[in-house]
Amino acid sequence: MAGSGSSGPLGSPLRAGSPVGSGSTIAAIASAAGPGARSVIRLSGPRSAPIVKQLCTASEGGAAPDLGSRAVFEVLFDDGVGLLPGRLLWMPGPRSFTAEDVAELHLPGHPGLVAGALERLLVSGARLAEPGEFTRRAFQNGRIDLTQAEGVSALVAARSREERRAATALLVGGLERRVRAIRGELEAVRALSEASLDFDEADTGHVPIESIVEFGTSALSRLREALGWERQRSASDRVARVVLAGAPNAGKSTLFNRLVGEEGARSSGRAIVSDLSGTTRDAKRGDWTLVPGATVALFDTAGLGGDAPRDSEPDRLAARRSEELIESADLVLWVIDVRCLCSGALPEPPAGLGADGARVLRVWNQVDRSPTEVAPVPGSYLLSAETGEGVEALAAACALALGFTWEASGGASPSELAHPAASAGWGLGPRHLAALEAAALRTTAALEAIQASVPLDLVAEDLKVATDSLDEIAGRTAPEDLLDRIFAQFCLGK
């Protein structure tokens, strides 16, 4: 650490003012929890510059930088105990993510040091950001629309390539651009309809009905295209992924067949069951209904662990596929043959299982084959894939872990069902689709009304309702409680 004899405080006064008056300056750790080479603390608001100038000095031998423009500086951060070497990314508003003055401090990734640095920022005039508050300020200040804000949340929660693709499509404005173009067409059709109210057909200002129908039909076609795009984009967000993992011969394939049943196995076929180790190579996928209204995608994987075969290339490919599925899972069921309790040889999950945010539940299978009575293990579930004993309790536990709603979970209390494992990306598609479908329905009604010679003021009203539905998607007319629910799903620092 450098001593206090290094260069003086960071330089010149910042340009005045932040946009839409948020008033307070917020700070939060923006990087993942735990140790690392670097951790990131984010700061946004009108006091960002004074706080940075108070706590940061130029690195030894460097000149005091000017905070009047966007730049990256090597700095020493005063955490109240010493000077931490770090990097300052300075992004003055309004050309920043939040449209406010934004600073990012990249500091050594020791959790204790980072916690102390954050505390120092809070003492110096910032307050701790609420979940999603950085993104909410970007939305409120017009830097992004609501669909792009949802894209940020979905991207953070994504655990697979498909989910990242779907979230990125939102984040880069794929839906926003479509909605903006459709809204423009609907506004134009509505303006033509209202203009025609003031003129008779013989007047030069009258707009032919054929022209109104033509523009309305074009808008409806764009709406249907947007519906198709959104259905395709959000398809991967709608189904949670549950993966069966475990050592060979733990009974995973029998359990898979039990859980998906005949209907759920139609798409991929039933899993082959055998006492031979390594029977399962290709991953199987089926639909598992946990409780009424809550269906997940269930995957059966090749055995992992010490006895799993790795002698051949197919065996190695099967193991790799199992690991990839586990990495993309929302919930992993680590299946253990309960007879291992008798032998004392308990297969442990691979190191890092669940590290990507998925919950891991231990499932003690084949209790019907145990030579002795097995006592319940805290935090685990006893069952028999052969007889079905314990399967219902496991399904309820999975519904709980995945955060399915109270109505879909058979009457469990709402507090019991709240769990952070629920993907923030779930539910975005339905919200967007409902609004697009409402807009398409009212546009269709408007066109039918024109053909039926309904007065144009009623047609214009249908078109206004269609436009309002599109405005809900972008957040222009979203109620405050909806915004609160959306941004509450974010993590701190986003």
pLDDT for position 271: 44
Which of the listed residues 80, 95, 129 is the one where a domain comes to its end?
A: 129
Q: Are residues 397 and 441 in the same domain?
A: no
Element (H, E) at 244: strand 241-246
pLDDT for position 316: 65
Element (H, E) at 243: strand 241-246
Q: Are residues 176 and 320 in the same domain?
A: no
Please, which pLDDT band fits residue 256 given cuts at 50, 70 and 90? very high
pLDDT for position 350: 63
Q: Is residue 64 part of a domain?
A: yes
Name the region of 493 (left: φ>0; alpha: ψ -120 to 50; beta: rest): left
pLDDT for position 187: 87
What is the CATH classification number for the domain harbouring 250?
A: 3.40.50.300
- Mean pLDDT, all residues of the chain: 74
Q: Are residues 342 and 276 in the same domain?
A: yes
pLDDT for position 491: 67
Percent residues over pLDDT 70 in the chain: 68
pLDDT tens column, 437-456: 888 889 888 888 888 888 88
Neighbour count for residue 457 (Cβ, 10 Å): 11
For residues 438, 442, 448, 452, the Cα torsion angle rounded to the nearest 10 degrees is 150
408-420: average pLDDT: 36
Please, which pLDDT band fits residue 385 given cuts at 50, 70 and 90? confident
Are the C-beta atoms of 327 and 306 separated by less than 8 Å?
A: no
Report the domain count for the chain. 3
Q: Are residues 253 and 228 in the same domain?
A: no
pLDDT for position 422: 35
Backbone phi and psi for residue 22, each to the nearest 5 degrees, phi listed first? -85, -20
pLDDT for position 126: 92
Q: Are residues 255 and 369 in the same domain?
A: yes
**Poorest-pLDDT segment among 37-51, 182-196, 201-215:** 201-215
Dihedral sign, Cα of residue 381, residue 384, residue 385, residue 389: negative
pLDDT for position 159: 64
Q: Is residue 462 part of a domain?
A: yes
Nearest CA-CA partner of 103 in 114, 113, 88: 88
pLDDT for position 43: 94
pLDDT tens column, 100-132: 999 999 998 888 888 899 999 999 999 998 888
**Could you give the CA distance from residue 425 to residue 201 in angstroms, rounded to a whole number?**
51
Q: Are residues 250 and 379 in the same domain?
A: yes
- Tokens in use for 416? 């019991």
Q: Is residue 12 part of a domain?
A: no
Q: Are residues 223 and 92 in the same domain?
A: no
What is the CATH classification number for the domain harbouring 210?
A: 1.20.120.430
Three-state secondary structure readout of 294-321: EEEEEEECCCCCCCCCCCCHHHHHHHHH
pLDDT tens column, 339-379: 776 666 666 666 656 555 567 888 888 888 776 676 666 66
Whole-prediction pTM value? Answer: 0.54
Looking at the DSSP bridge assignments, the partners of residue 453 are none
Greatest mean pLDDT range, 9-23, 310-324, 455-469: 455-469
| DSSP assignment of 74-106 | EEEEE-SSSEEEEEEEEE-TTSSSSSS-EEEEE
For 284, residues 6+ apart whose C-beta sits below 8 A from its C-beta are 253, 256, 265, 268, 269, 270, 271, 299, 300
- Tokens in use for 390? 């314990």
pLDDT for position 352: 58
The CA–CA distances, whole Å, from 443 to 181, 206, 226, 418, 460 equal 15, 21, 14, 38, 10
Angle at 439 between CA 191 and CA 173, to 5 degrees: 95
Q: Is residue 137 part of a domain?
A: no
Greatest mean pLDDT range, 156-170, 172-186, 340-354, 473-487: 172-186
Q: Are residues 263 and 369 in the same domain?
A: yes
Q: Is residue 48 part of a domain?
A: yes
Which of the listed residues 129, 156, 188 is the one where a domain comes to its end?
A: 129
What is the CATH classification number for the domain harbouring 35?
A: 3.30.1360.120
Are the C-beta atoms of 239 and 297 separated by less than 8 Å?
A: yes
pLDDT at residue 264 is higher than 60:
no
Length, in residues, of the chain: 494
Dihedral sign, Cα of residue 368, residue 369, residue 372, residue 376: negative
DSSP strand pairing (71-78 vs 56-58): antiparallel
**Poorest-pLDDT segment among 137-146, 263-272, 365-374:** 263-272
Please, which pLDDT band fits residue 273 given cuts at 50, 70 and 90? very low
Please, which pLDDT band fits residue 426 given cuts at 50, 70 and 90? very low
Angle at 198 between CA 195 and CA 202, to 5 degrees: 100
**Could you give the CA distance from residue 410 to residue 412 in angstroms, rounded to a whole number?**
6
Q: Are residues 170 and 121 in the same domain?
A: no
Strand order, beta sheet including 127-128: 56-58, 71-78, 83-91, 102-109, 36-44, 26-29, 127-128
Please, which pLDDT band fits residue 277 given cuts at 50, 70 and 90? very low
**Could you give the CA distance from residue 267 to residue 271 in angstroms, rounded to a whole number?**
12
Are the C-beta atoms of 295 and 289 separated by less than 8 Å?
A: yes
Q: Is residue 339 part of a domain?
A: yes
Residue 404's SS3 state is coil
Q: Are residues 124 and 171 in the same domain?
A: no
- Tokens in use for 421? 């494992």
- Tokens in use for 76? 């020493």
Q: Is residue 372 part of a domain?
A: yes
Q: Are residues 228 and 245 in the same domain?
A: no
Looking at the DSSP bridge assignments, the partners of residue 291 are 294
Backbone phi and psi for residue 43, each to the nearest 5 degrees, phi listed first? -135, 135
The residue whose two tokens read 């990012």 is 104
Q: Are residues 206 and 61 in the same domain?
A: no
Q: Is residue 423 part of a domain?
A: no
Which of the listed residues 411, 439, 467 is the one where a domain comes to its end?
A: 411
Range of the domain at 116: 26-129
